[in-house]
Amino acid sequence: MSSAQQRLSQVSSHFTSGGKKGVAAITEKHPDDIVVTCALRTALTKGGKGGFKDTAAADLLAGVFKGVIDRSGIDPKVVEDVAVGSVLAPGGGATEFRAAALVAGFPESTAVKSLNRQCSSGLQAIVDIANAIKSGMIEVGIGAGVESMSSQYGPGAVTEFSELLESHPESANCKVPMGVLSEQMAKDRNVSRAVQDAFAASSYQKAVKAQKAGLFNEEIVPLQVKWTDPKTGEEKTITVKADDGIRDGITAESLGKIRPAFAKDGSIHAGNASQISDGAAAVLLMKRSTAQRLGQKIIGKYVAASVVGVKPLLMGIGPWKAIPVALEKAGITKDEVDIYEINEAFASQCVWCVNELGLPQEKINPKGGAIAFGHPLGCTGARQISTLLTELKRTNKKVGVTSMCVGTGMGMAAVWVAE
């Protein structure tokens, strides 16, 4: 038997052990499962005016790292590697993120890297750590994501293209602004403004209900930060413990009154697109056998992930292509998933993906999404996991999927099991 055939046989046996298939197979417990023992995030706050407007990305990261150490009780010395997804940080954040890990309490023996796969950076960081554990490179690691859009978002986020890149039509499309892309996609795919506004209003309403019921409290680590009052100029010390972009009273009718942002006859506007925001999230991973040896409480299990490419001008359809691939790798069907956390970059793309995949609305972002509480670019992929695992546990459900579209035309998805 060739090595490729052996690997295929091993994968097949993993998902059909004891004759089990689908959910029965992925919920089985094995010593080499890649498990999550802690998943936390900061609150998400409004870019430029929210609670973290004066806080550097690395400081947010240090805060969530400390939260993971405290909540999990992990000995920092056993954490061998930390991967951090971030999109806008100068130099990729490599220097600052290493410093953040040290100030949070990790020793010099803990390695740190930064990475950028645009809006899926946080998820990619976590998958990188999971794969490093699976391959035997490390035993314990943290995948994280962070973004300070208050300090680093703006025209400089997209660099000028060379003549070589500009001369290729598909290449040149990689730098078309997201709002313009989504406006065109909404027209091409016939996603009406009324549908977008209804979806966006629902996101706000679900988030308001969840926040009032305290459903985000378990996943959020409060952070004490310095904040300058824009009216008085006075610097204060505040504790940020709740998402401050969530607004009550939003309806499809109220959203319908907002002027389009990218075209006079357009459908995309500030109320049906993700909020510019700041935040960080981190996920602690190891094998099940390691967690048991270290006395770590297991809250979830990583099953499989996918990454795909689509046309740059159709970047919003990424989840539609990525989710079926992840489900196939996990050996389950779309109907066996209890909750889908699909990033709401824009209502237009999210609602199109959901409808095209034939997913029930009640399974999509049950506590709201990025339209309601924000999308700190590099953070979102990690944030979704804390939101998902907390909600699966609360509702006594098992299987979840996280997914997002990715700038320049990609999509990513991952399958998770709650314990």
In the predicted structure, residue 203 carries a pLDDT above the cut 80: yes
Are the beta carbons of 322 and 411 closer than 8 angstroms?
A: yes
In the predicted structure, residue 5 carries a pLDDT above the cut 50: no
Q: Which pLDDT value is given to residue 9?
A: 41
Q: Which pLDDT value is given to residue 8?
A: 38
pLDDT in tens, 234-272: 999 999 999 999 999 999 999 999 999 988 889 999 999
For the CA atoms of the chain, what is the radius of gyration? 21
pLDDT in tens, 7-63: 434 444 343 344 578 999 999 999 999 999 999 999 999 999 999 999 999 999 999
pLDDT in tens, 332-374: 999 999 999 999 999 999 999 999 999 999 999 999 999 999 9
Q: CA-CA distance, 294 to 178, in Å (whole number)?
A: 44
pLDDT in tens, 217-233: 999 999 999 999 999 99
Q: Specify the pTM.
A: 0.94
pLDDT in tens, 53-91: 999 999 999 999 999 999 999 999 999 999 999 999 998
Residue 32 vs residues 73, 111, 130, 133, 363: alpha-carbon distances, Å: 22, 23, 11, 9, 29
C-alpha 336, offset from chain centre: 21
Q: Give the residue numbers marked as catalytic.
A: 119, 375, 405
pLDDT in tens, 284-341: 999 999 999 999 999 999 999 999 999 999 999 999 999 999 999 999 999 999 999 9
Are the beta carbons of 402 and 326 closer than 8 angstroms?
A: no
Q: In 249-299, where do the E strands start and end?
A: 277-287
Angle at 102 between CA 99 and CA 105, to 5 degrees: 150
Helices then strands (H, E): number in the chain? Answer: 16, 12
Q: Which pLDDT value is given to residue 19?
A: 55
